[in-house]
Amino acid sequence: MIFLLLVFTPLGRALYGYLALWPLPHTQIWQPVTYAFLHGGLLHLSFNMFGLWMFGRIVERQWGPRRYLIYYFVCVVGAALVNLFASAAVGHTQFTVGASGGVLGVVLAFGMMFPDARMAVFPVPYPIKAKWAITGFIVISVALAITDTAPNIAHFAHLGGMLFGWLLILHWRRANQTGRF
């Protein structure tokens, strides 16, 4: 319902532009969070919510809601930061919307927790281990980001969400080993 209001009403479209992540130097302080609540269409929204449901519920069950929420928002903000700086470096001027960076951070967490879990990944005709699926997501995202093959997709945000998620997991693992967390 909110998605439809944002897309199909004049006030919604203005709000959409206000909340989207705009490139530097036009970025506002709230946009590295609010952009993740907007999407570029029902298909985009559906894929992100499906991924969040598929992997997020398992990760949240392992970590609990508080740690999961912290992790998710670190991935979202990290995705925004990487996307902002990479976009400035290559001269992209379009705004960014979507939760994909956060979702891919959650997918990475799932893969790190359950590396041997079998996943069905389109278009691969048989289930593959999560560690190989995650590796494939990273390789494809890097290739698409470098070549700018699909310019309307924020590949750097995908990579940023995974990078910040990985760094936070490493931090938590080190903190657990030293008894600080």
Q: Which mean pLDDT values do the consecutive 10-residue runs of the chain (181 residues) have?
A: 75 88 96 94 92 96 97 98 94 93 97 94 88 93 89 92 98 84 50
Instruction: Note the pLDDT of residue 103.
Output: 97
Sign of CA dihedral 179, 160, 122, 99: positive
Count the neighbouring beta carbons within 10 Å of the beta carbon of residue 31.
21
Do 20 and 98 meet the contact criterion of CB atoms below 8 Å apart?
A: no
Q: Which residues contact 74 (CB under 8 A, 6 or more apart)?
A: 105, 164, 165, 168
Give yes or no for a cis peptide into 23 (omega within 30° of 0).
no
* Model pLDDT for residues 99-111, shown as the tens digit of each residue: 999 999 999 999 9
Could you give all domains of the chain from N- to C-terminal order, each with its CATH number? 2-113+157-178 (1.20.1540.10)
- Rounded to whole angstroms, how far apart are CA atoms 161 and 167? 10
Pairing of strands 118-119, 128-129: antiparallel
Cβ atoms < 10 Å from Cβ of 169:
16
Q: Does the global pTM surpass 0.95? A: no
| HSE-CB for 136 with a 13 A CA cutoff | 12
Maximum separation of any 2 CA atoms in the chain, in Å? 54
* Terminal C-alpha separation, the chain: 40
Strand partners, 118: 129
- 41 backbone φψ class: left, alpha, beta (φ>0; ψ -120 to 50): left
H helices within 91-129, ranges in order?
100-113
**pLDDT value of residue 5:** 77
Tokens (6 digits) for 161:
């969400």
